[in-house]
Amino acid sequence: MAGALTVLDFDGTMTDAEAEAGPFRAGYLDDLAVITGLPRDEVEALALRFADEVAARPAVEGWRFLGHVVAPASVDPYLRMMPVARRLLDHAGALRDEAERTRVLDGVLYKHNYVKTGTVFRPGAGALLRALLPTAARVVTNSHTDAVVTKLERLAAAEDPGLAAWTGRVHGRARKYELDPAWDGVPEALQLPGLDRPVLLRRRAYFEVLDALRREAGCSWAEVSVMGDIFELDLALPLALGARVLLLTNAHTPPWERAWLATQERALLVEDLAAAQAALLPGGACEAAGAR
């Protein structure tokens, strides 16, 4: 696998998002109470109700960015907050302009409250990162670079000082959710059986990050492996580009993603980081998947 590139997502992939996100959710709802003018306890009750409504329609509900669904809402607690917040704003008649709403929810409130998250790495995170240190491996994430670096520093302090080398391998604010319909580097969309809406692929900002890393590594797309926990954000574009992808599944992974990826030659599904490590190391299943 000489010259190959491994790209890792971070939140929910290297970390346990469900365990980390409690302070994020609480802070986000605090801010929504201020914006809507509703009492905090009423905001909490409404959020629970709206979360149940979102969970009841996983194939329909999603993270909506500038009018387009760019990821399912069910997969992690950060994404689940997005449609809940929109329902709260609708209920209160607040922030009705779509562009302003997107800016506040996805920009200001998300970034403000993300820094409140805890640090809970998945079991095996340190071992995987240690094993990948000698390779051309990078973290590419929507999160701010500094926030991820801080978490990696904590992991290095707790487990192995050598892991601090990863702090120079983080590429944050990748904007995996941002669409550019005018870019024609890949087909416009992918249709998965069991999902009525399309999976939108033209995420040029994310492409540019991945392509720069691929060129730096001096490899073809067929030699790139990308691991993430949210197919639409992390993996759909790389798969369309010819990369090998590995979906780290959890209790909220949509069944239509599991079923479709199981049929794809260049895709793997794993349940934990130990299996991911076995797949990503040279000679592992990810190297064999879709070999050309």
DSSP string, 103-162: IIIIIIIHHHHHTT----BPTTHHHHHHHHTTSEEEEE-SS-HHHHHHHHHHHHHHT-GG
Cβ atoms of 64 and 82 within 8 Å: the answer is: yes
* Distance between CA atoms of residues 279 and 131, nearest Å: 12
* CATH number of the structural domain spanning residue 167: 3.40.50.1000
The phi, psi pair for 48, rounded to 5°, reads: -65, -40
State whether 36 and 49 are in the same domain.
yes
Looking at 114, 141, 170, the residue that finishes a domain is 114
Looking at 114, 137, 169, the residue that finishes a domain is 114
Query: Containing domain of residue 40, as a range?
Result: 22-114
State whether 63 and 131 are in the same domain.
no
Considering only CA atoms, which of 227, 243, 232 is closest in space to residue 137? 227
Q: What is the pLDDT of residue 56?
A: 86
State whether 123 and 110 are in the same domain.
no
For the chain of 292 residues, list the mean pLDDT of each consecutive stretch of 10. Answer: 78 95 96 97 97 87 89 89 95 94 90 90 97 96 93 96 98 96 96 94 98 97 97 98 97 94 97 96 57 36
Strand partners, 227: 8, 246
Residue-wise over 88-105: b if at least 16 C-beta within 10 A, else e?
bbeebeebeeeeebbebb
Residue 81, both tokens:
């907050």
State whether 55 and 127 are in the same domain.
no
Looking at 87, 114, 141, the residue that finishes a domain is 114
State whether 86 and 212 are in the same domain.
no
State whether 90 and 169 are in the same domain.
no
Q: What is the pLDDT of residue 106?
A: 85
State whether 73 and 58 are in the same domain.
yes
State whether 98 and 210 are in the same domain.
no
What pTM did the predictor assign? Answer: 0.90
Residue-wise over 214-240: b if at least 16 C-beta within 10 A, else e?
beebebebebbbbbbbbbbbbbbbbbb
* Distance between CA atoms of residues 239 and 250, nearest Å: 20
State whether 73 and 174 are in the same domain.
no
State whether 133 and 156 are in the same domain.
yes
* Distance between CA atoms of residues 284 and 86, nearest Å: 43
Q: What is the pLDDT of residue 2?
A: 34
Radius of gyration for the chain, computed over Cα atoms and rounded to the nearest angstrom: 19
State whether 69 and 130 are in the same domain.
no
Q: What is the pLDDT of residue 281?
A: 87
Please give the helix or strand (H or E) that residue 288 lies within, else none. Answer: helix 285-288
Mean pLDDT over each residue of the chain, to the nearest integer: 93
State whether 132 and 97 are in the same domain.
no
Considering only CA atoms, which of 124, 203, 134 is closest in space to residue 162? 134
Number of separate domains in the chain: 2
Which region, left, alpha or beta, applies to residue 206 given φ > 0 means left and ψ of -120 to 50 means alpha? alpha
The phi, psi pair for 166, rounded to 5°, reads: -70, -20
